[in-house]
Amino acid sequence: MSGLIDLDTVAGARSIHKFARLSASKARVVLDLIRDADLEQAREELQFCDRAAATVISKVLESAVSNAENNENLSADELYVAECWADEGPTLKRWRPRARGRATRINKRTCHITVVVAQLSDDELEMRATRLAASGRRSADQDRAARVAASKETEEEVVEAEIPEDGTTDDNSAETELVNEEADSSETETADEEQTETENAELEPTEDADPTDEEEKEA
C-alpha cells in the first residue's frame, strides 16, 4: 500500500498543517508509526504515543478523515494512511546572551506536515469484514447507526407517553379552566352583593334614635 498516491485516480483526501512549531526530524519519527496503517490502528498509535508531535499529527489525521467524509463521501471504516511526510519549514533565529558579551544562536525549527488517507482496496475490505464477523464486533458506522436508531426509538416512546391515545387532554384542561373561571366570578359577585347590603344597612336610620331639639320644644 506504500508509494505515491494520485488522488485523481484513487478515492481519498489529504490535510496539510504548515509551519508546525516542531522540527521535521521529530515529526518523522511519529509519522513512521502510522504510515500504511488503517485508521483505527493509526488513532491508537497516536493516542498512546508519548511524543509531543503525536498531538499535532493526530489533529492533521482527523482533518484528513473529515475531508474524506465530507468532500469525497467516504466512510471512515474504509480509510487507511496512504502517505504521510514532514517537510522542512523556515527556521526562526533567536539569540541567547552568554558570558563576556557573547551570544549563542537559538534555532526554532518549523515543518509542514502532510497526511493523505485513501480508501482500502476491495480485497482489504473483504478481509476486514471477515475478521469483524468472526470476532462479533461491529464497525464504527454500524455502531453509529445503532446509536441513532436507539435514540430515535427513545424519543418516540417519550412523545407517545406524553400524548394520550384519545387526545382529550387539551379539551379536558380547557373545560377545567373555564369552570374554575366561572366559579371565581360567581364568588366575586356574591362577595360584592354582601358588601353592598352591609353598607346600605349602615346608612339606614334606626327607630330608637334620640329625639331632636325641636321635638323636645313641642313636647
- 8 A C-beta contact, residue 46 and residue 30: yes
Supply 203's cell numbers. 346608612
In a domain, 152, yes or no: yes
Q: Which of 88-92, 93-97, 178-182 has the lowest mean pLDDT?
A: 178-182
Q: Which of 30-44, 53-67, 82-96, 136-150 has the lowest mean pLDDT?
A: 136-150
Indicate whether 2 pLDDT > 50.
Answer: no
Q: Which of 31-40, 66-75, 139-148 has the lowest mean pLDDT?
A: 139-148
In a domain, 87, yes or no: yes
In a domain, 209, yes or no: no
In a domain, 77, yes or no: yes
Indicate whether 48 pLDDT > 60.
Answer: yes
Q: Which of 73-87, 89-103, 130-144, 182-196 has the lowest mean pLDDT?
A: 130-144
In a domain, 111, yes or no: yes
Q: Compute the CA torsion angle 36, 42, 48, 51 (nearest 10 deg).
A: 60
pTM metric for this prediction: 0.59
In a domain, 218, yes or no: no
CATH number, position 32: 3.90.470.10
Identify the pLDDT of residue 212.
54
User: Which residue range(s) make up the domain with 66?
Assistant: 12-156
Considering its fold, how many domains does the chain have in total? 1
pLDDT band for position 5 (cuts 50, 70, 90): confident
Q: Compute the CA torsion angle 145, 150, 151, 156 (nearest 10 deg).
A: 130
Contacts of 80 (CB under 8 A, 6+ apart): 1, 36, 37, 38, 39, 42, 117, 118, 120, 124
In a domain, 90, yes or no: yes
In a domain, 123, yes or no: yes
Interatomic CA distance for residues 145 and 157, integer angstroms = 19
